[in-house]
Amino acid sequence: MKRQAPRLIRGMLHYTAAGIAVSRKHSEKIAVRVGLIDTESHNIDGKISGISREVAVMKQMVLVFLVGLVLLFGGACSQNAEKTAAGPRLSVVTTLFPLYDFARIIGGEKASVQLLLPPGTEAHSFEPKPSDMARLAKADLFFFTSKEMEPWAEKLYAGVQNPSLQVVDTSVGIRLMLAADEHDHHWHGKEAGHAVHAKADPHIWLDFANAEKMVGTIRDAFMRKDPTNADSYRQNAGRLLAGLAELDKKYAAMLKTCAHQELVSGGHFAFGYLAHRYGLRYRAAYGFSPSAEPSPRDLMRLSRFLKEHRVKAIFYEELIEPRVAETIAKETGVSLLLLHGAHNISREDFQAGVSFLKLMERNYDALREGLQCR
């Protein structure tokens, strides 16, 4: 841009000067060619005088145009210089929305962060495409939740020829709870049995203490990859950690005041960590896979649990058709409320820049209403 712009402007100046530097000697010939002068007329001198005035006006217009052009090119070159001065940004790819949002905040202006999961797509049914592998081939950092949550992640990055790619499992240092720790396997419908009973719950980010550890892991990866901007990453992560800690205190204080301590979901087993964090009794219609179908017997048991404990609401999840929750709500007369698992968000929320903290604020309001808290 710096080399091309002056050359272009000099060429335009030369062309313009050549086109409008017309002497009075040649004015008559030009006027005759363009049909401005009647050669039979005795008023040629007046016509020539008029052309001279037009040429003067043209000169002024061209001068104004060229000044504007110089300012335009100068502004563009200045913007490019600012981008160059800022240095290259890290290219970051993440799997689920919580990781995307954490990395986006921590990286700030120093990173370009992409969400591998298309907004509006249900996380458990996602299958990576060749184009996703191409993204990793150009990336500096790749964050995934765990092999339990994204069993396809290891195969994805293993097939990428990118020696500089840093792959980060954000579940490092976090104890994964087993399904047996939190609920009776009978609530799993068709998935009931020992295989499901021994499964680890991968929804670690819904315990804010775990989310804080994930933020720390992501922050450290940024700092290792780009130590020059370590202070920026540390400060950005600090603000995010403060927001998570504040939410944790807010949840704990509110959930102590609830008329009900029973959290019932008409979807899959996604909120075990949240319930464990605050001492809630948790029941879900089925197991870890949203594609599973609870049996009629399971639905009867869940309905009976709602009635026996006089629970006032059943929750459903984002991006999943809430048929089971709707059926139970109609049968028992309870309210139907959205509780966001934050695996992914809708296209509308993504375009609006909705954050993980914002989703958890919405969950706070839903729990307050559903569990009748003060």
CATH number for the domain harbouring residue 357? 3.40.50.1980
Same domain, yes or no: 96 and 79: no
Q: Which amino acid is at 291?
A: S
CB 179 within 8 Å of CB 287: yes
At 283 the three-state DSSP class reads strand
pLDDT tens digits, residue range 47-77? 434 444 444 444 444 443 433 333 333 333 3
Q: Which domain holds residue 12?
A: 4-86
Q: Which carries the bigger pLDDT value, residue 295 or residue 310?
A: 310
Residue 88, pLDDT > 70, answer: yes
Same domain, yes or no: 235 and 326: no
Q: How many CB atoms lie within 10 A of CB 6?
A: 12
Instruction: Give me 49's structure tokens.
Output: 């005088």
H or E element, residue 92: strand 90-94
Same domain, yes or no: 17 and 160: no
Question: At how many degrees (to 10) do helices 24-34 and 44-86 cross?
Answer: 90
Same domain, yes or no: 104 and 236: yes
Q: Structurally, how many domains does the chain consist of?
A: 3
Give the pLDDT confidence score for residue 135 in this predicted structure. 96
Instruction: Round to whole Å and give the CA distance between 127 and 149.
Output: 13
Same domain, yes or no: 145 and 10: no
Highest mean pLDDT among 3-7, 35-39, 88-92, 192-196: 88-92
pLDDT tens digits, residue range 123-157? 988 999 999 999 999 999 999 999 999 999 999 99
Question: At how many degrees (to 10) do helices 230-255 and 356-370 cross?
Answer: 0
Same domain, yes or no: 107 and 230: yes
Minimum mean pLDDT among 75-84, 250-259, 291-300: which range?
Answer: 75-84
What single DSSP character describes residue 175?
P
Q: Which carries the bigger pLDDT value, residue 9 or residue 139?
A: 139
Same domain, yes or no: 82 and 94: no
> Residue 254 falls within a domain, yes or no?
no
Same domain, yes or no: 134 and 39: no
CB 204 within 8 Å of CB 102: no
Same domain, yes or no: 214 and 292: no
Give the pLDDT confidence score for residue 182 in this predicted structure. 43
Q: What percent of the chain has pLDDT over 70?
A: 71
Burial of 55: CB neighbours in 10 Å, binned 0-12, 13-18, 19+: middle
pLDDT tens digits, residue range 159-189? 999 999 999 999 999 999 986 544 443 333 2
H or E element, residue 142: strand 141-144
Burial of 286: CB neighbours in 10 Å, binned 0-12, 13-18, 19+: buried
Residue 1, pLDDT > 80, answer: no
> Residue 115 falls within a domain, yes or no?
yes
> Residue 252 falls within a domain, yes or no?
no
How many residues are given for the chain?
374
